[in-house]
Structure 1
Amino acid sequence: MGSERRKALPFKAKMPDTANISRLLNELPACFRVTLQGKFGHILDLLLVDVQTPTITALAQFYDPLLRSFLFQDFQLTPTLEKFDRLLGFSMKGRTAYNRIGQVPEVEMLALALHIPISDALANWKKRENLFGFWRAYLEEEAERLFEIHHWDALANMLALLIYGLVLFPTHEGFIDSAAISIFWAVWKDKQSLVPPLLADTFHTLHTRHQRKNGMLICCLPLLYNWLISYVFKPDAHISEISNGEWARTLVSLSSKDIIWYRHKLNVEEIIISCGSFPNVPLIGSKGCISYKPMLALRQFGYPMRGKPDDKEIEEMVLNDMGTNDPFLLRKIIRSWEKVHTKGTEIVKKNDAARVPY
């Protein structure tokens, strides 16, 4: 598909420091982890992922900004809502898509919900560049305080907020900003779905970095890493033994025969293919909105790729700066999720082949 002809771009990737969160979790009973998982999904599992950052920087070289896909020798792979949903163990069913972009709870309300003294929260509500938020050190101190007084429910919420700001929706190192807080609040209080904004931020950071042709890949790296290895490696593979230099060679040499296209235990009966009047799926994330093309991912659900997709299905849409530059388009995107279009078993009998026309 031509990816091997591209000049390598100087991308960087760095995992956040979650040592203090992990230490606290290790000192807590197992039932606490179950409670937190029930409220927020398998976000604790992301702390255990041994992400080899050269894998991420190598993978980013294969990304095609227009198709929202990674293009390899004779196949493509696309992150999808359904796969992220399964990896997180936090079902989208019964939840609306995140639509509170730019909306942040009042600091006083946030403090009360997290059992932080209001005066302390107001004093520690800081601005970094164009976003307000809390420094990690302050929230970690509050987590320690909640641990000492055995306020387990509040501690679960505090640790979840730290994970949201540091791992799921990072922006600045060691700073939990209002964009991450907005999603945390919407998922916790409004029962909105965590999955669409995570996929949005994945595409948005890849798109932005390719536009600028350099920079730091700032998104949920453990989730993207797990997504990749689920297609390339069997569960018992010795991934940690692959050296940094070997990752690029491994990805370059991949062919469609190497990919684990479809796992029956992850069977997906319905695929979200478009929303409202959009020809594809507009996603709302912490930094802006971006469309993705699920019709290019049918093979990953066990369906054949028969031919070239319609031009409308790969139509471009990117909205930066949290949608402030085009509020009309942002409202249209939000409303589009009121009418979600899906396809399921009527597509065709399960068969992950790629036909010649495609």
Structure 2
Amino acid sequence: MLTLEEYPHLLGIPVSNKVSFSGLEEIPRSQVIADALHLKKYEIDANMMKKGGIRGLTSEFLICRDISFAQVGGMDVFEAIFVLLIYGLALFHNIDSFIDVNAIRIFLIENPVPTLLGDTYFSLHLRNSKGGGTVVCCIPLLYKWFISHLLQTLVFLENKQCPRWSQRLMSLTNDDIVWYDSALDVLKIIDSCGEFSNVTLIGTQGGINYNPDLARRQLGFPLKDKPNNVQLEGLFYQEAFEVYTTWIKKRALELKMPYAYERPMSLVIDEPSTLLN
């Protein structure tokens, strides 16, 4: 079970007290983005575009600006743009060579860990319910978490005979798994959200429930009592179905209601992809 304690430890980024991404934030204004990146508003206006039905900035534009500032020693600007590139191309990748508005929102919020964990749980649950397919989340981070719980012996790490992961994992026993990392001893355990022990993690594709109180056992602490039914209930949701969304938009137009349609909670695939079985 992935936890809110392990992801910050692996990333080196603590969980902030700021409200994390919900998908309901307004589209950031050009001036807000420009201020965060130390750029001019007209640069953002000129390069903001839609790709796959969602707004954002191309990585080509940001990389070019980053290189130019690095060459003249503008490190504050370089670092800000570089961080946004990491958010859009690595942590919350959606469309190739494109930093979409969700990545920009999360960058501005400055509390990415809950969203990263939400994306991971959401994608794992979705692929499991579908019986296979490609996991869509920050794979390098998931891989780092995965191997942190496996054998650290030289024989296992070197993998000289190059068997498949499935073969290597099938040979493991309970004693081979590193269930708890002592490096987490110094971390503060998050075992509730206010009075709520069962909370929703919202990722860029949807939401799924997370039980921080149940994570205590994995982190080496005993549970105070047996889990109640509320803690064990599952919650999983994706974006609204297209038929429903279309109906809402139509009704909004009929009633003269503004409905600025964006897709903050959906996966956008630039080209058709094949799910792996």
Q: Is TM (by shorter chain) over 0.5?
A: yes
State the Cα deviation string for residues 225-254 of structure 1 (Å, max 9, x = none): 111111113286763636764211122333
State the Cα deviation string for residues 204-234 of structure 1 (Å, max 9, x = none): 1222223333443221111111111111132
* Mean CA deviation greater in 243-252 or 139-148: 243-252
C-alpha contact 2:36 2:108 (8 A) present in aligned 1: no
Say yes or no: does 1:312 pair with 2:267: no
Q: CA deviation at 1:124?
A: 1.6
Give the structure 1 partner of residue 67 of structure 2.
144
State the Cα deviation string for residues 241-277 of structure 1 (Å, max 9, x = none): 3676421112233332111222323215653333356
Alignment of 1:161-200 (within 5 A): 161-187=84-110, 193-200=111-118
Give the structure 2 partner of residue 102 of structure 1.
24
C-alpha contact 1:134 1:175 (8 A) present in aligned 2: yes
Q: Distance in 2 between the 1:130 and 1:196 partners?
A: 25
Give the structure 2 partner of residue 246 of structure 1.
164
Q: 1:157 is matched with which residue: 80, 83, 108?
A: 80
Q: CA deviation at 1:119?
A: 2.5
C-alpha contact 2:18 2:109 (8 A) present in aligned 1: no
* Unmatched segments (≥5 aa) in structure 1: 1-77, 188-192, 327-358
1:185 alignment partner AA:
L
C-alpha contact 1:100 1:182 (8 A) present in aligned 2: no
Alignment of 1:13-28 (within 5 A): none
Q: CA deviation at 1:108?
A: 2.7
Q: Distance in 2 between the 1:112 and 1:306 partners?
A: 48
Q: CA deviation at 1:179?
A: 0.7
Q: Distance in 1 between the 2:214 and 2:36 partners?
A: 42
Q: Distance in 1 between the 2:71 and 2:90 partners?
A: 25
The 3 A distance-change label for structure 1 pair 319 and 274 is farther
Q: Distance in 2 between the 1:102 and 1:306 partners?
A: 36
C-alpha contact 1:268 1:301 (8 A) present in aligned 2: no
2:24 alignment partner AA:
G
Q: 1:229 is matched with which residue: 137, 143, 147?
A: 147
1:164 alignment partner AA:
Y
The 3 A distance-change label for structure 1 pair 319 and 277 is farther
Moved over 4 A (4+): 235-238, 242-245, 276-279, 304-308
The 3 A distance-change label for structure 1 pair 246 and 216 is closer
* Unmatched segments (≥5 aa) in structure 2: 246-277
Q: Distance in 2 between the 1:260 and 1:215 partners?
A: 27
Q: What TM-score results when the alignment is normalised by the length of structure 1?
A: 0.60
C-alpha contact 1:166 1:176 (8 A) present in aligned 2: yes
Give the structure 1 partner of residue 36 of structure 2.
113
State the Cα deviation string for residues 8-30 of structure 1 (Å, max 9, x = none): xxxxxxxxxxxxxxxxxxxxxxx
Q: CA deviation at 1:315?
A: 1.0
Say yes or no: does 1:92 pair with 2:15: yes
Q: 1:217 is matched with which residue: 126, 135, 152?
A: 135
Give the structure 2 partner of residue 40 of structure 1.
none
C-alpha contact 2:54 2:100 (8 A) present in aligned 1: yes
- Between Structure 1 and Structure 2, the one with more strand by share is 1
The 3 A distance-change label for structure 1 pair 86 and 236 is farther
C-alpha contact 1:100 1:186 (8 A) present in aligned 2: no
The 3 A distance-change label for structure 1 pair 235 and 175 is farther
Q: Distance in 2 between the 1:295 and 1:156 partners?
A: 37
Q: Secondary structure at the match of 1:204?
A: helix
Q: Secondary structure at the match of 2:73?
A: coil
Q: Secondary structure at the match of 1:267?
A: helix
What CA RMSD, in Å, does the superposition of the two structures yield over aligned residues?
3.0
Give the structure 1 partner of residue 175 of structure 2.
257
